[in-house]
Structure 1
Amino acid sequence: QRAPLPPEMEPCLSRFASSMDSDHEAEGFQTLGTFVLNTAADEDAADLSILIQSIATSCKYIANCVRKVGLAKPQLAGKAGNTNVQGEAQEKLDVIAHEVFVKFLDQSRRCTVLVSEEKEEIIRCQPSPNGRYVCVFDPLDGSSNIVCAVSIGSIFGIYRAAERGVHRDGDTLQPGRDMVAAGYCMYGSSCNFVLTVGGQVNGFTLDSSLGEFVLTHPNITVPPSGSIYSINEGNSPWWELGMAKYVEHVKRKEAPHSSRYIGSMVADVHRTLLYGGTFSYPADARHAAGKLRLLYECYPMAFVMEAAGGRASDGARRILDIQPEHIHQRAPIHMGSVQDVKEIER
């Protein structure tokens, strides 16, 4: 027979059970799928919900793989032995994440074409009369941080196709302002899915007991100003003078800004979204066109940031207004609190 609990443990157990019962009461226990159905425009609700659920399923699969890397699974950890279109060495999990996204998006029958960071060419989905969207994605951002267990993530953006069920390569070269939804999933101490659709930004957390993303951060808004700047200062010898002056200025203010840089765009932008301040990856003498990819990194994150009341620019113009010329185009970017980004632009 099991030994009884010590008397001092009974209040703790009672509080724990109570908290489990009320975990989702405050938000009405709203799942991601239900939320999208209730939020998207009537004509889009069902199709968009199916597509976003396919993305969420991809993210759940990837989250599970990320957790297993820490157990030294040889099929998941380490280099794949290949390079992607950018000339970057691929991690095994980069390849797996790409294949997972393509599989679930294709099976959704809601996409005509896809663009992935890991694939040089446009990916054409199976023909379907229900195909009305174009999806662009970075399947695993920050993958160089996998082994040291730093937060990494997936980024995605969704556009409407010009014609339902028709493959048009030109549909992938729409400016960011034309997206209908965008977001990211962060794999860290918890698995967080942040989505903008219908003009708001909402955050969902994966409840492992349910296997569902549950609404935990409704209507996220970025503070109008912040006290954190996020930039890779190791690149400072190659910065343009204006960028160097800005960073020096915020360091020497009466209330100096703090520097926080993880090296994973998803994690750095997520913190900026919640706490305010800026995230920057500027052009420099070595990368005159910028380093981050416009279509599937800058656009989706800028779309999220603006929907939350923030600002995103390349230093001179709104990121979402840039007309892309090719699918792997790069761009400099500054995003975050409106007041702080405007200060960089000056």
Structure 2
Amino acid sequence: MGTSGPGSNDLKTAEEPACITSIVDTVAKTVPKLRTAFETHRSYEGEANPSGEEMLAADVYADELLESRLGKLACVGTYASEERADPVSIGSGLSVAVDPLDGSSNLSSNNGVGTIVGVYDGGLPASGRDLIGAMYVLYGPTTTAMVATRDGVTEYLLTQGEREVLTPSVSLPETGTVYGFGGPVPEWSGAFRRYSMSVQRRLKRRYGGALVADVNQVLSHGGVFAYPRLETRPSGKLRLQFEANPIAFIVEQAGGLSYQGERSVLDTEPERLHQRTPLFVGSPEPLAELIETLGGATTDPTVTTRESPWD
């Protein structure tokens, strides 16, 4: 359990689904303004976020807009963002950790970008096991949202601030057809290179440099996404609170697996808000092979229940 922010220990369990619905609806209603900002906020701000990455005006705009909208919800007690050094304490309630504009560097080339939201029942930084909901929005040819709760995963079409069910119960196949691996190949470990060579023989490469878009390929077709530790990034590249935990939660609730080199991503001990981690997620069979190749724990690739296969 994290220590920053008020947390939500006093929030009744019965109120949690209603709060997640409010958060999802609020993000959906914010999407039209966010899409407009892609056209008008494309310049760099000249400032770096807490992870040392230069921010686009669109990053700042999306962060401020989501903080304003989500901060008005009575059930939200803490707002934290990849673009801010510290969480914002709003009151008493759940904690939301947001990557306002995932893959924002893709705006200049008009490629896929997204928004990621994790809803934690606890102060931040928090364990992935404290997640009660997570979602991402993909701004593609159409705008879609993948929403996960402890009951499963639903895909929505977002149109003019409203959402319509596209896939009522998203479920990953055992194997799948696509893979996407991040980071410079020369910086991969020898074990991960061996795994990559094996995967390339039977799966199609799909990698665009935006986490949401790349993971959405895996959730749509099955397969594996990986951003391993690198020689220059031994702790990994992706942020645990804002990216890895929510994505791992979504994938595991869809019947897939997550891994960070030792265990499920959701079992990673949270030490700081902007902590980084390697991330491997996907269908049970290719993830089981990856875990075996990297010399980690083994798991039964036939597990398809909504409960974590790591428990």
Q: TM-score range by the shorter chain?
A: 0.7 to 0.9
1:332 to 270, 278, 284: 278
User: What's the secondary structure of 2:60's corresponding residue?
Assistant: helix
The answer to whether the aligner puts 1:269 opposite 2:241 as a matched pair is: no
Task: Tell me the amino acid that sits aligned with residue 42 of structure 2.
Answer: A
Q: 5 Å matches for 1:25-174?
A: 42-66=14-38, 69=39, 73=40, 76-125=41-90, 127=91, 131-161=92-122, 171-174=123-126
Alignment RMSD (CA, Å): 1.6
The offset of 1:47, in angstroms, is: 3.2
Cα separation, partners in 2 of 1:237 and 1:187, compared to 1, 3 Å: same
2:162 to 212, 220, 237: 212
How many residues matched? 281
Q: 5 Å matches for 1:159-238?
A: 159-161=120-122, 171-208=123-160, 211-232=161-182, 235-238=184-187
* 8 Å contact from structure 2 (residues 102, 210) kept in 1: yes
Q: More displaced, 301-310 or 175-184?
A: 175-184
Cα separation, partners in 2 of 1:181 and 1:95, compared to 1, 3 Å: same
The offset of 1:151, in angstroms, is: 1.1
For 2:10, the equivalent position in structure 1 comes to none
Give the Cα–Cα distance (whole angstroms) in 2 for the partners of residues 97 and 207 of structure 1.
Answer: 18
The offset of 1:287, in angstroms, is: 0.4
Task: Tell me the amino acid that sits aligned with residue 262 of structure 1.
Answer: G
The offset of 1:242, in angstroms, is: 0.5
Q: More displaced, 196-205 or 273-282?
A: 196-205
Deviation by residue 1:74-113 (Cα, 9 ceiling, x = unmatched)? xx12111211111111111000000011101111132111
* Structure 1 residue ranges, 4+ long, deviating more than 4 angstroms after superposition: none
2:232 to 286, 298, 304: 286
The offset of 1:63, in angstroms, is: 2.4
Task: Tell me the amino acid that sits aligned with residue 288 of structure 2.
Answer: K
Task: Tell me the amino acid that sits aligned with residue 221 of structure 1.
Answer: S
Deviation by residue 1:58-86 (Cα, 9 ceiling, x = unmatched)? 333212323xx1xxx3xx12111211111
User: What's the secondary structure of 2:232's corresponding residue?
Assistant: coil
The offset of 1:248, in angstroms, is: 1.4
Deviation by residue 1:106-155 (Cα, 9 ceiling, x = unmatched)? 11132111210000112111x3xxx3211001000000001211110000
Higher relative contact order (CA 8 A, sep 6+): 2
TM-score (norm: length of structure 2):
0.86
TM-score (norm: length of structure 1):
0.78
Which protein has the larger Cα radius of gyration, Structure 1 or Structure 2?
1
The offset of 1:186, in angstroms, is: 0.6
Deviation by residue 1:259-300 (Cα, 9 ceiling, x = unmatched)? 111100000000101101110000011100000001110000
For 2:250, the equivalent position in structure 1 comes to 304
User: What's the secondary structure of 1:172's corresponding residue?
Assistant: coil
User: What's the secondary structure of 1:186's corresponding residue?
Assistant: strand
Give the Cα–Cα distance (whole angstroms) in 2 for the partners of residues 82 and 267 of structure 1.
Answer: 25
Task: Tell me the amino acid that sits aligned with residue 235 of structure 2.
Answer: A
5+ residue gaps in structure 1? 1-40, 162-170
Give the Cα–Cα distance (whole angstroms) in 2 for the partners of residues 298 and 207 of structure 1.
Answer: 27
Give the Cα–Cα distance (whole angstroms) in 1 for the partners of residues 186 and 16 of structure 2.
Answer: 48
Deviation by residue 1:239-274 (Cα, 9 ceiling, x = unmatched)? 1110011111223x4xx3221111000000001011
* Identity score, percent: 31
Give the Cα–Cα distance (whole angstroms) in 2 for the partners of residues 48 and 277 of structure 1.
Answer: 28
Give the Cα–Cα distance (whole angstroms) in 2 for the partners of residues 43 and 101 of structure 1.
Answer: 22
User: What's the secondary structure of 1:63's corresponding residue?
Assistant: helix
